[in-house]
């Protein structure tokens, strides 16, 4: 069997098929363009190669939407027909993707780890493990997996900057901010377009309350990520966070209208950011007008999607609450609760725990939207302790803390609010947003 430049076995003799698959891999790592046409071209060049349909199903899995399952199942069926002729590496990747679509994301990551144990320079296994560490909220694995393989990577490898960008984000999510910033900046030194590294440094600046510097950082690198990149919406959301930290709500709302409005959103990962930005504006008493209703209508609220991603579930609920549809929000919560009831048996302990954490937060958010702060506070406090289980980053989950602050201020629980605010003081003591919450609690 042939091997590529990283020593990985390649299950095709077609140079054309390899070139298409390599292009798709770069797209997956860089978020530039859609990898599916490249993978279709690879499969057409060599219909007997297992890897292209595996990559198709894995890419669709990484989007965290149940609505892509039919297309993924078709790709998995093609892979099953080719499995006997695939390499051990390709079969290992396939096993992880299958487990992912079965809902056991932790087991999927273990499969990809086994691939990496034998082939530390397998960028595909590394990427999928990294993404699903993030979707599972496992910050330790998010860092450790990349650290285990780093010594085997060559800094001259064209994919090295993307691996370094993953390392930077893992460091940031483990509060190793200085190291994260160094790694993220280093990933960009050679001129490769690495939005993930830009993103990691933006996270550092957000966590440290460096909102003016963060705005400048994103503006400096905007020519790299703003056009043709699937990560652009998320980086615009980060720009929105910096505007809100500076309490420039008008700029944040304008950014939503120009960059995150529903007409520009294609997938759930983008709708998450739009939903979260509107909710934070609402917490600051900004009237967002009719924006909620269209955004809520674009979310998949089907029974089959409920409970698939706790992080997505929560944001669907926010959109329904924001649009003034409490009955629809209650129906959505009931659908999620029904599916979560059997998660332990079907998809493992980790998914069950994630579902429970998500349900507690959703119940608290529903109570907050009703104005029932005395019910919302204990539910949100309990859910916040386990919030990492639902996935997302520290910056994304800060939405829960800010909702708690708003609830505490609204019902006069000043001691609780000040305790929450004390957590912000170390990094964000002087920001306008921190002062805003101090003033609201004082009132």
Full DSSP string of 112-139: HHHHHHH-TT-HHHHHHHHHHHHHHT-H
Q: For residue 383, how many other CB atoms are within 10 A of its CB?
A: 24
Mean pLDDT over 43-66 rounds to 97
In the chain, % of residues over pLDDT 90: 90
Q: For residue 422, how many other CB atoms are within 10 A of its CB?
A: 10
Whether residue 345 has pLDDT greater than 80: no
Whether residue 94 has pLDDT greater than 70: yes
Helix axes 35-45, 51-62, angle to 10 degrees: 160
| Domain 1-138 CATH class label | mainly alpha
The whole-number pLDDT of residue 1 equals 67
Distant-in-sequence, close-in-space partners of 157: CB < 8 Å, separation ≥ 6: 6, 121
The whole-number pLDDT of residue 411 equals 94
The whole-number pLDDT of residue 349 equals 76
- Whether the CB-CB separation of 86 and 50 falls below 8 Å is answered with yes
pTM attached to this predicted model:
0.96
Whether residue 195 has pLDDT greater than 80: yes
Whether residue 7 has pLDDT greater than 90: no
In whole angstroms, give the CA distance from residue 48 to residue 59.
Answer: 20
Whether 1-138 and 273-443 share one fold: the answer is yes
Q: Is 301 helix (H, G, I), strand (E, B) or coil?
A: coil
The whole-number pLDDT of residue 429 equals 85
Whether residue 315 has pLDDT greater than 70: yes
* Site of tokens 């990809």: 112
CA–centroid distance for 22 within its chain: 24
In whole angstroms, give the CA distance from residue 113 to residue 119.
Answer: 9
Name the residue among 345, 343, 337, 380 with its Cα closest to residue 360.
Answer: 380
The whole-number pLDDT of residue 418 equals 93
> Domain map of the chain by residue range?
1-138, 273-443
Q: For residue 428, how many other CB atoms are within 10 A of its CB?
A: 21
pLDDT band at 347 (very low <50, low <70, confident <90, very high): low
Distant-in-sequence, close-in-space partners of 187: CB < 8 Å, separation ≥ 6: 161, 162, 164, 165, 168, 194, 196, 197
Specify burial of residue 223 (Cβ count, 10 A radius: 0-12, 13-18, 19+): exposed
Q: What is the dihedral of CA 141, 143, 149, 154, to 10 degrees?
A: 160
Mean pLDDT over 154-176 rounds to 97
b/e map 173-210, b = 16+ CB within 10 Å:
bbebbeebbebbbbbbeeebbbbbbbbbbbbbbbbbbb
Q: CATH topology for 273-443?
A: 1.25.40
Name the residue among 15, 106, 107, 91 with its Cα closest to residue 53.
Answer: 91
Measured between alpha carbons, how far is residue 281 from residues 241, 266, 295, 319, 420 in Å? 10, 22, 15, 13, 19
Whether residue 438 has pLDDT greater than 70: yes
- Whether the CB-CB separation of 43 and 49 falls below 8 Å is answered with yes
Between the two ends of the chain, the Cα-to-Cα distance in Å is 72
In whole angstroms, give the CA distance from residue 172 to residue 177.
Answer: 5
In whole angstroms, give the CA distance from residue 183 to residue 188.
Answer: 9
Helix axes 51-62, 69-82, angle to 10 degrees: 160
Mean pLDDT over 254-261 rounds to 96
Q: Which two tokens stand for residue 221?
A: 């690198």
Whether residue 425 has pLDDT greater than 90: no
Looking at the DSSP assignment, which residues form a beta bridge with residue 9?
3
Looking at the DSSP assignment, which residues form a beta bridge with residue 229?
32
- Whether the CB-CB separation of 201 and 186 falls below 8 Å is answered with no
The whole-number pLDDT of residue 133 equals 96
């Amino acid at each position: 069997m042939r091997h590529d430049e990283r020593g990985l076995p390649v299950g095709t003799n077609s140079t054309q098929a390899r070139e298409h698959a390599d292009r798709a891999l770069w797209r997956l790592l860089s978020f530039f363009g859609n990898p599916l046409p490249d993978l279709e071209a690879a499969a057409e060049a060599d219909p007997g190669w297992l890897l292209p349909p595996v990559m198709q199903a894995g890419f669709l899995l990484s989007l965290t939407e149940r609505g892509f399952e039919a297309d993924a199942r078709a790709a998995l069926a093609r892979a099953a027909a080719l499995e006997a002729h695939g390499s051990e590496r390709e079969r290992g990747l396939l096993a992880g993707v299958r487990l992912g679509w079965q809902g056991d994301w932790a087991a999927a990551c273990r499969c990809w780890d086994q691939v990496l144990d034998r082939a530390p320079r397998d960028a595909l296994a590394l990427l999928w493990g990294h993404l699903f560490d993030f979707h599972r909220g496992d910050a330790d694995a998010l860092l450790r997996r990349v650290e285990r393989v780093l010594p085997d990577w060559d800094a001259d490898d064209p994919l090295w900057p993307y691996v370094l960008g993953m390392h930077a984000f893992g460091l940031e999510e483990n509060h190793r901010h200085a190291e994260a910033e160094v790694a993220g900046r280093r990933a960009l030194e050679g001129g490769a377009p690495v939005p993930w590294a830009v993103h990691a440094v933006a996270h550092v600046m957000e966590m440290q309350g460096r909102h003016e510097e963060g705005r400048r950082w994103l503006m400096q690198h905007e020519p790299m990520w703003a056009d043709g990149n699937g990560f652009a919406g998320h980086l615009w959301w980060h720009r929105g966070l910096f505007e809100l930290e500076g309490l420039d709500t008008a700029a944040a709302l304008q950014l939503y209208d120009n960059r995150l409005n529903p007409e520009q959103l294609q997938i759930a990962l983008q709708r998450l950011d739009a939903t979260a930005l509107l909710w934070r504006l609402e917490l600051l008493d900004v009237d967002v007008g009719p924006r909620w209703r269209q955004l809520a209508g674009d979310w998949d609220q089907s029974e089959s999607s409920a409970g698939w991603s706790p992080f997505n579930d929560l944001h669907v609920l926010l959109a329904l609450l924001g649009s003034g549809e409490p009955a629809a929000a209650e129906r959505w919560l009931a659908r999620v609760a029904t599916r979560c009831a059997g998660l332990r048996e079907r998809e493992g302990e980790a998914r069950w725990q994630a579902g429970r954490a998500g349900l507690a937060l959703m119940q608290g958010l529903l109570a907050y939207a009703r104005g029932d702060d005395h019910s919302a506070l204990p539910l949100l406090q309990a859910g916040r302790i386990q919030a990492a289980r639902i996935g997302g980053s520290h910056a994304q989950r800060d939405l829960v803390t800010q909702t708690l602050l708003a609830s505490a201020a609204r019902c006069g629980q000043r001691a609780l609010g000040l305790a929450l605010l004390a957590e912000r003081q170390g990094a964000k003591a002087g920001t306008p947003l921190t002062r805003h919450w101090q003033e609201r609690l004082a009132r």
